[in-house]
Amino acid sequence: MTMGSTEVQHKAVGKEGTPTFELRLYVAGQTPNSIKALANLKKICEEHLKGQYRIEVIDLLENPQLAKGDRILAVPTLVRKLPPPVKKIIGDLSNTERVLVGLDLRPRYKGRKHL
């Protein structure tokens, strides 16, 4: 697997023909953390966003200037471009619950139901 800058690694579209979630994963080469982050992201998207997402992988070793646009300070970093607001998650995305909360797919706090 090659992680080229701005190379779309996986694309799945919703019913209207456009992705509901546009995700951008910033990496720095094919490090173990970068490869793990992409694999974790694909798994999460297939399980929770099937047919509603697009993943774009940007390798900052090839195009470091692209880090400016999304203010990337660490890699790997996942940026949710759509739907607004923009959200960022730093790390290898191995904590599925944290990623789901970060993407607004799960509520931050699971409250108790009151009778």
Over the stretch 15-36, which tens digit does the pLDDT of each residue have? 555 568 999 999 999 999 999 9
Residue 111: pLDDT band (50, 70, 90) is low
> What burial class does residue 35 get, using C-beta atoms within 10 Å of its C-beta: 0-12 exposed, 13-18 middle, 19+ buried?
middle
Please state which architecture CATH assigns to domain 7-102.
3-Layer(aba) Sandwich (3.40)
